Chain A
Amino acid sequence: MELTTVWFILIAVLFIGYFVLEGFDFGVGMLLKVIGKSEADRRAIITTLGPVWDGNEVWLLVGGGALFAAFPEWYATLFSGFYLPLFLILVALIVRGVAFEYRSKRSSLKWRANWDNAITIASFVPALLWGVAFANLVRGVPVEPNEVAGAGFLYTGGFFNLLNPYALLGGLVTLTLFLTHGAVFLALKTAGDIQPRAQKIAIPLGLIAAVLAVVFLLWTQLAYSDKAWTWALVVVAALAWVGGIAANYLKRDGWAFLLSAVTLAVAVAFLFSVLYPNLMPSTVNEAYSLTIENGSSTEYTLRIMTIVAVIFTPIVLAYQGWTYWVFRKRVSPADIPNPHEGSLDYPDEAQAAAAHAAANK
């Protein structure tokens, strides 16, 4: 197999990893206030993400780095072209990461409420925008030769070109898929009051996502795929999703999460398969399309990157997998007898918080 194809697949794998893992992070973030009614609930919910969210986000950093290294033309054209959506995603990821780390650092109710809102919004924005961005890639965008550099390509579509109905539907699909994925993750990872709430909300969310996703996948296959075999992926994704909803209904949390993850993985694989061998199909002129041939690095660079990836990817998968094993235990609000523990409170604030907690009991 050509190394350019190998790297196209590897980048697909990195984004599959990213969406499967940070997908539930986003879902949990958006559901924080919906499922978490009390302070202990919310701390328990955030604790399910605590040991893993940063590692999950690294999948994006490695995906971006691999894009840069293997297809520099794609990285340059895509990142400068999708400027505003990526900027909004960056701002959201900054706020969200800080919010996880800082929200429980003070017991002030206002402090925590502000960070909870930040987590909700900053999870919503990327969950929506990633779908918009990927749908636009598959649909094709205005790409023209880069006159300034005298070689390569340039996105010339502006911002509003990205807001077409197909791409917006794509955004709603990732949004609802991630919401559901987050709910089934919580159903698997929590105990006590929050677990049945997560199980319950996953059903309507999953049904809405199913309708939107089926329309989107069919639209993609019919309008943008030139390959018959990608039908298979549509079917697998749809079946896995139905199975996941059924498993959730039967309270088989492990199966529900696994099938939801399979759906996301297959759906992302489907989008990359439809795209192949293009990287950014041009709507201006097919000859201007960025492909794995005209967008890639040299054979030498790809070979080095392949060696590094072959050695280190299994190691990373092993220790990340081990982390999930170490923290496999469900988290219950009952594990958090004092929701203000760990706060950086001055003595008077700690007293006020304790009094408030006592009054609420």
Chain B
Amino acid sequence: MLRVSWSANIWGMDGSNLFASAALDLARWQFGITTVYHFFFVPVTIGLSFLVAGMQTAWVRTGKDKYLQATKFFGKLFLINFAMGVVTGIVQEFQFGMNWSDYSRFVGDVFGAPLAIEGLLAFFLESTFLGLWIFGWDRLPKKLHLATIWLAATGTLLSAYFILAANSFMQHPVGYEYNPVTNRAEMNNFGEILFQNTTTSAFMHVITTCFLVAGAFVGGISAWLLFRGRSVEMARSTLKLGMITTLVAFVLVGITGDHQAKIMVQQQPMKMAAAEALYETSAPAPFSIFTVGTLDGSEPIFEIKIPDALSFLATGTLDGEVQGINNLQEELANQFPEEEYGITNFAPNIPITYWTFRLMIGMGGLAFLFAAYALWATRKGRVPSSKWFVRAAILMPLLPLLGAAFGWIFTEMGRQPWVVYGLMPTAAGVSPGVSTGYVLTTVVVFTLLYAVLAIIEVGLIIRAVKIGPPEVVPKDPYDTDAPDRQLSVTY
């Protein structure tokens, strides 16, 4: 394959253009803020759409009121959340072109296709059938109406697949050839992009995470309702559903994460070394749980390590060799000469990768522990009365959500200094024609707007939870004798 050559005057690289470098930093901040924010809503949408579909299926099959009540209650929360996911998603598609136009032109031939297909296959499905679900309670036959939520849920799954295929190309570019005439990557094997193990493993890890998030969301809220003695019959069922989903999903998140880590060691060894702040190549390598002190390779003041564990995680054997940052730096510097790529430091920000990796796992682990405790504490009709129980219940929905955010920060920042690993430096992707002032304007406005919307959104979720499910379930919404009108979930 022909090698790409990035001109030496890539923005900010030679230090002569401070303003351009500020534009790059701002564009990165904007991407980070808008993407992490967007991903607070995405896993709730994906996971909860399936859980709500499950609740409604249970109601259609058994006719029990509590399932209808659960469908309506969590359906309402789902929709409050979904709205935010939709509107913040539009920014995602636009900002590649706006802030990262050289990235877009370089990878567009490869990267654009999964995005366009995501829209055509997933977004239409999701939005149209969700519209039918919201407004269709009194318009569609019972089973057809049930089918609409399942189709919307399927749409969210497809959407995740295609966007992760696109992201996986950034993590591990395959199925393309570099064309020096057009100076861009050109696709030559779409199947490889869609089905490479980077894509499939990321998909499994992300989807199981979505169920962890939704399980904790349903479980935490149900635990609060139960504690308060609200809609007890429903809350018991949904607590079980939420907590068991959390337990199972956490185990699956662990298995898929382990699988993904082994692939990462092969494809981006530097990211794994950075996750561990492992400076020297070691065999066997320990897994560091906690470090006090600096992460710059000098002696830590205090740390807890599990011997051999990193070797096992990375290679599957207890004494496998795990490469360290220093060796990798040397190797990568030879592989990607500075005069061609303009990169001297191949290591990402170590404190961020080290801590986000741990927080990601830790947050999920806490949700798992509370889920197990909550199931035990509510066994055989018991109702926990400890105020610590209810505090943990309130915190629970936030834990996997933050874990997922840390996971994305880890995987995206761990890829630095590349935007497409081994192919395009991040600094080369920024829009050359967009001034620092423009990016500053948009990053400030988006951040403020998102902050205001977060306050409103969380406020509405809290209201909806506090008001709780209606104690007396309204009559069968499919009752054909009822006056023909829209139901209470409408706008």
Contacts and interface: CB of A to CB of B under 8 A. Distances in A.
A69 B108 contact: yes
Given A65-B112, A68-B96, A91-B449, A51 B91 contact: no
Nearest to A100: B491
Contact of B115 (A65, A76, A80, A94): A65
A236 interface: no
Contact of B97 (A70, A80, A345): A80
Given A97-B87, A297-B109, A155 B116 contact: no
A93 B90 contact: yes
B486 A148 contact: no
A152 interface: yes
12 contacts: A61-B89, A65-B117, A68-B104, A72-B104, A75-B112, A76-B104, A79-B98, A80-B98, A80-B433, A300-B190, A304-B190, A344-B460
A263 B187 CA distance: 39
Contacts of A312: 120-121
A142 to B, nearest CB: 10
A76 B87 contact: no
A94 B449 contact: yes
B104 A47 contact: no
| Shortest 6 CB-CB contacts between residues of A and residues of B | A72-B108, A79-B97, A69-B112, A65-B116, A80-B101, A68-B112
Contacts of B96: 68, 75, 79
Contact of A76 (B91, B93, B97, B123): B97
Interface string B164-186: 00000000000000000111101
A148 B117 contact: no
Contacts, number: 270
Given A50-B135, A346-B467, A75 B104 contact: yes
A150 B433 contact: no
Contacts of A152: 105, 182-184
Contact of A58 (B83, B104, B106, B123): B123
A87 to B, nearest CB: 5
A151 B184 contact: yes
Nearest to B179: A298
A156 B101 CA distance: 13
B40 to A, nearest CB: 14
Interface in A145-196: 146-152, 154-156
A128 B43 CA distance: 35
A76 B95 CA distance: 10
A68 B101 CA distance: 11
A98 B97 contact: no
B490 interface: yes
B491 A68 contact: no
Interface in B135-191: 135-136, 139-140, 181-184, 186-188, 190
A101 B135 contact: no
Contacts of A86: 94, 98
Q: In the complex, which of the residues B79, B127, B446 has the most CB atoms of chain A within 10 Å of its own CB atom?
A: B127
A98 B453 contact: yes
Contacts of B326: none
What does DSSP make chain A's interface, helix, strand, loop or mixed? helix
B124 A62 contact: yes
B84 interface: yes
A30 B183 CA distance: 45
B119 A65 contact: yes
Given A146-B432, A308-B120, A297 B108 contact: yes
Contact of A320 (B94, B97, B128, B490): B128
Contact of B120 (A50, A72, A83, A316): A316
Contacts of B102: 76, 146, 148-149
A73 B129 CA distance: 34
A346 B463 contact: yes
A83 B434 contact: yes
Interface string B69-100: 00000000001100110111111011011110
Interface stretch (A132-140, A279-287, A335-343, A353-361): A335-343
Given A75-B97, A90-B94, A62 B119 contact: yes
Given A47-B490, A58-B128, A323-B132, 15 more contacts: A46-B491, A51-B135, A55-B127, A58-B127, A68-B96, A80-B99, A80-B101, A86-B94, A97-B87, A101-B491, A106-B460, A152-B184, A300-B188, A304-B113, A344-B463
A342 B131 contact: no
A304 B453 CA distance: 39
A61 B97 contact: no
Interface residues of B, number: 85
Interface of A: 43, 46-47, 50-52, 54-55, 57-58, 60-62, 64-70, 72-73, 75-81, 83-84, 86-87, 90-91, 93-95, 97-98, 100-106, 146-152, 154-156, 297-298, 300-301, 304-305, 308-309, 312-313, 316, 319-320, 323, 326-327, 331, 335-337, 341-342, 344-346
Nearest to B103: A76
Nearest to B162: A65
A72 B491 contact: no
B471 to A, nearest CB: 13
B83 to A, nearest CB: 4
Contact of B433 (A103, A156, A297, A319): A156
Given A73-B108, A97-B86, A58 B124 contact: yes
Contacts of A93: 87, 90
B491 A148 contact: no
Contact of A335 (B123, B134, B449, B486): B486
A43 B486 CA distance: 11
Contact of A326 (B89, B106, B115, B139): B139
A94 B466 CA distance: 27
Interface string B397-408: 000000000000
B403 to A, nearest CB: 26
A57 B106 CA distance: 27
B442 interface: yes
Nearest to A66: B116
Contacts of B393: none
Contacts of A345: 467
A249 to B, nearest CB: 31
A25 B202 CA distance: 37
Given A58-B124, A301-B187, A101 B83 contact: yes
Given A62-B123, A146-B102, A149-B102, A301 B113 contact: yes
B387 interface: no
A65 B90 contact: no
B489 interface: yes
A285 B446 CA distance: 36
Contacts of B488: 341-342
B23 to A, nearest CB: 11
A320 B124 contact: yes
A325 to B, nearest CB: 10
Contacts of A80: 97-99, 101, 431, 433-434
B412 interface: no
B108 A346 contact: no
A62 B116 contact: yes
B490 A327 contact: no
B452 to A, nearest CB: 10
A243 to B, nearest CB: 30
A304 B116 CA distance: 11
Interface string B431-474: 11110001001100110010001001000100110110000000
A71 to B, nearest CB: 8
B354 interface: no
A237 B386 CA distance: 70
A150 B183 contact: yes
B454 to A, nearest CB: 11
B130 interface: yes
